[in-house]
Amino acid sequence: MGMVLTGCVESYDKVRIEMNVSPVSLGDFPSGGGEKTLTITSNTKWTVSSDANWITFSPSNGAGQEDGTVTIRAAENKGFAQLTATITIKGTGFSDQTHTVRIAATTPNLTVTPVELSMVSAGETKDLTIESNVSWEIIRSADWVSVTPSEGKGDQIVRVAATANQTSVERNAIITVRSTDTQEERTIQIKQEAATFFIEVSPSSLEFEAAGGSKPMQISSNTSWILGNSSDPCTGTAPCLTISPDQGENSREVMVNVTQNQSVEPRIFEFCFWHVGYDIDMPPHVIFTSNYITVIQQGAAPILNVPAVQMDFPSSGGTQTFDILSNTNWSVTSNVAWLTLLSNWSLTTEYSSTVEGFTGGVITVKADPNLDTNERSATITVDLTGPISTPGQPLTRTIQVTQAGVTVIEEPEPEMVQVKGGFFTMGCTIEQGLDCDVDERPSKDVTVSDFYIGKYEVTQALWTMVMGGNPSSNKGDNLPVEYVSWNDIQEFITELNRMTGKQYRLPTEAEWEYAARGGKNSQGYKYSGSNTAGDVAWYSENSGGATHAAGTKAPNELGIYDMSGNVYEWCSDWYGNYSGNPQTNPKGPDNGAYRVVHGGSYYNLAWYSRVSKRSYYVPSYRSPNIGFRLAHDSN
């Protein structure tokens, strides 16, 4: 606008306002920033501004008298996104003009070298070089790898460390370097070689005497170890060989301990040491073994102890035992057919002339009945059959065996003992103590008249003479007849009475117990003739499982044999409960289902052989341990 002054009158000419800006477009800035210029031609005041702080101007305003040049500066864009700004040019009296400018994004960079690291089994540390313009973090796939630092920004040297690999396999891990700005990732492979272990043992062999003992052994190793395969001949019982300690690590001395060898056989042991691996995702397993170590132990001198030197059998035969103590194999032989053997090592229950065994043994010797009146003899020989390491040792033992000849008793007249009648208490009496059975009570006072009773149990010889046959299981003329029922005996008595003209019968239960107690001569014994069963009775603990010849134990107070033990004896009575009332010559119930037996047997415990002990069976019952003795009235 101009102004013209004329005289006193003031007049004004209107001026046209103009403002031109070039160039029309500034274009984009690179990410590194830069400068651009604007030329402003204007006749009015103007200003330049921007909505972004990364844009600056020089100058930022003008008066309009002349053309103005504005320098526009863009700062570096360190971000990873394009930036946009608006430049506004304002002029007085003129509409605003705007220019849009952009600055390119910075290109992210994340470079990691090297891309693979190889580590030795002992463990080591190596460097990674990170070249970057971003922030980053490091992620590990395995705990055995560590990194320092684990996060950062820009360029950095990172230390990668691997712990020692104590497994037998190569292991691998991955390190991931991830941009926290762009999520870009770089991966580095880590490989670590398998460990190399060794276990060496010296010496490789040891020798021990039979007495055993301890010897040292040196283990050289760089790892942990444990006793591995061991061939021990004592496996299943207590071990013969032990190693102390039996596990450890690295090099050290161990002691090899061997127990005494009581066998004549040498013992050979073999063992080794294992390195056991605990690899990832695998159960414990043997990685490798040391060399095998051999231990040889000498055998012991042979031993053969046989305490028995003499065995005597009655004519009825039977069984006896003897012991063998040895540390090797042995055999036992009988030189006669009537003497047979059974060993606790035998696989069957059959007796034979030769048996075999190892170390300790129990030999059962069985003699058949001697049906001859002459004594006979035999020899049992015990020989060692195992390997002998000490020549000159006595390796044979012998046992001399004799068996009495049969004693012939005049038949068919059985020898009888007169029993004077009298008074006694029948059933549970004081000498029986706590052994009484329920049917021995209540005891009762009994009077019996004079009678006769057999001095011996009826023998097989007498039975055979009368009946023409022998039903017994254990054969022998002078053995008590057995396996006869109460009914069978009635037939025998009928035939015997016919042959002799006498009136034999079975004793009543009261007569039997009175005679067993010793009659008027009674000393109040628990068994018939003694308080010690073995003095007067053949029973389970001394009989050898068989009957014995009549009269081979001590008699009772009346001179009667075997009323305790050997075989049960049938009585004439039916079985019934005691009443407790005084009685004279009682004969039991008038009827019943069972007949009474007394005396116990070779098969039973001594408790059954007590004078008051009652048992019972049906009259038709037969057994290898039931026989009888005869009785008759005094007239």
Q: Which of 7-16, 349-358, 481-490, 525-534 shows the lowest mean pLDDT across its residues?
A: 7-16
What would the mean pLDDT of 329-354 be, rounded to a whole number? 91
Residues 240 and 175 in one domain: no
Q: Which are the contacts of 583, defined by CB distance < 8 A and separation ≥ 6?
A: 444, 445, 446, 447, 510
pLDDT at 64 over 80: no
- Give the pair of three-digit tokens for residue 97: 């003009």
- Closest C-alpha among 572, 576, 618, 614 to residue 594: 618
Q: Quick one: pLDDT at residue 330? A: 87
Q: Is residue 581 part of a domain?
A: yes
Distance CA 491, CA 480 (A): 17
What would the mean pLDDT of 42-53 be, rounded to a whole number? 87
- Give the pair of three-digit tokens for residue 580: 């407790």
Q: Quick one: pLDDT at residue 620? A: 97
Burial (CB count within 10 angstroms: exposed 0-12, middle 13-18, buried 19+), residue 348 = exposed
Q: Is residue 347 part of a domain?
A: yes
pLDDT at 433 over 50: yes
Q: Quick one: pLDDT at residue 9? A: 38
pLDDT at 5 over 50: no
- Local structure of residue 375 (DSSP, 8 states): -
Distances (CA, A) of 194 to 134, 214, 219, 263, 273: 37, 37, 23, 48, 20
Residues 373 and 450 in one domain: no
* Confidence band, pLDDT 50/70/90 cuts, at residue 376: very high
Q: Quick one: pLDDT at residue 18? A: 73
- Closest C-alpha among 256, 247, 244, 241 to residue 221: 247
- Residue predicted with more confidence, 572 or 70: 572
Residues 550 and 422 in one domain: yes
Residues 438 and 501 in one domain: yes
* Confidence band, pLDDT 50/70/90 cuts, at residue 371: confident
The mean pLDDT of the chain is 88
Give 310-326 pLDDT, tens digit per residue.
999 987 788 999 999 88
Residues 452 and 571 in one domain: yes
* Confidence band, pLDDT 50/70/90 cuts, at residue 3: very low
Give 158-197 pLDDT, tens digit per residue.
999 999 887 778 899 999 999 998 899 999 999 999 877 7
- Which residue, 70, 103, 136, sits at the end of a domain? 103
pLDDT at 387 over 80: no
Q: Which amino acid is located at 402 in the chain?
A: T
Q: Which are the contacts of 52, defined by CB distance < 8 A and separation ≥ 6?
A: 83, 84, 85, 86
Give 74-115 pLDDT, tens digit per residue.
999 888 889 999 999 888 777 888 888 999 888 888 999 999
In DSSP notation, 279-346 reads -TTS--EEEEE---EEEEEPPPPP-EE----EEEE-TT-EEEEEEEEESSEEEEEESSTTEEEEETT-
* Count of H-run helices and E-run strands, the chain: 4, 48
Distance CA 168, CA 81 (A): 51
Q: Is residue 6 part of a domain?
A: no
CATH of the domain at 622: 3.90.1580.10
* 278 close to 167: Cβ distance less than 8 angstroms: yes
Q: Is residue 5 part of a domain?
A: no
What would the mean pLDDT of 471-477 be, rounded to a whole number? 94
Give 262-301 pLDDT, tens digit per residue.
778 888 888 888 877 655 555 655 666 778 889 998 888 8
Residues 382 and 488 in one domain: no
Distance CA 158, CA 188 (A): 12
* Confidence band, pLDDT 50/70/90 cuts, at residue 148: very high
What would the mean pLDDT of 217-233 be, rounded to a whole number? 82
Residue listed under structure tokens 């020899």: 379
Q: ∠524-430-440 over CA atoms, to 5°?
A: 100
Residue listed under structure tokens 């971000």: 79
At 535 the three-state DSSP class reads helix
Is this model's pTM higher than 0.75 or not? no
Q: Is residue 10 part of a domain?
A: no
* Confidence band, pLDDT 50/70/90 cuts, at residue 139: very high
Q: Quick one: pLDDT at residue 282? A: 55
- Which residue, 143, 158, 192, sits at the end of a domain? 192
Residues 509 and 549 in one domain: yes
* 567 close to 480: Cβ distance less than 8 angstroms: yes
The dihedral formed by the CA atoms of 551, 555, 556 and 560, expressed in degrees to the nearest 10: 40
Number of domains in the chain: 5
Q: Quick one: pLDDT at residue 117? A: 94
Q: Is residue 8 part of a domain?
A: no
* Confidence band, pLDDT 50/70/90 cuts, at residue 438: very high
Q: Which of 159-168, 286-295, 361-370, 549-558 shows the lowest mean pLDDT across its residues?
A: 286-295
At 488 the three-state DSSP class reads helix
Residues 226 and 281 in one domain: yes
Q: Quick one: pLDDT at residue 394? A: 55
- Give the pair of three-digit tokens for residue 183: 């999520």
Rounded to the nearest angstrom, the gap between the alpha carbon of residue 585 and the centroid of all alpha carbons in its chain is 67
Q: Is residue 470 part of a domain?
A: yes
CATH of the domain at 323: 2.60.40.10
Q: Is residue 629 part of a domain?
A: yes
Residues 384 and 240 in one domain: no
- Residue predicted with more confidence, 416 or 17: 416
Residues 607 and 563 in one domain: yes
* Confidence band, pLDDT 50/70/90 cuts, at residue 389: very low
- Closest C-alpha among 339, 237, 234 to residue 295: 234
* 291 close to 275: Cβ distance less than 8 angstroms: no
Please report the sign of the dihedral spanned by the C-alpha atoms of residue 36, residue 41, residue 46, residue 51: negative
Residue listed under structure tokens 């294992």: 274
Q: Quick one: pLDDT at residue 409? A: 45
Residue listed under structure tokens 């003009």: 97
- Which residue, 376, 403, 430, sits at the end of a domain? 403
Share of the chain above pLDDT 70, in %: 92
**Could you list the residue range(s) of the whole structural domain that residue 157 is in?**
110-192
Q: Which of 7-16, 215-224, 613-622 shows the lowest mean pLDDT across its residues?
A: 7-16
* Confidence band, pLDDT 50/70/90 cuts, at residue 308: confident
Residues 170 and 308 in one domain: no
* Confidence band, pLDDT 50/70/90 cuts, at residue 476: very high
Residues 477 and 612 in one domain: yes
Q: ∠245-246-248 over CA atoms, to 5°?
A: 75
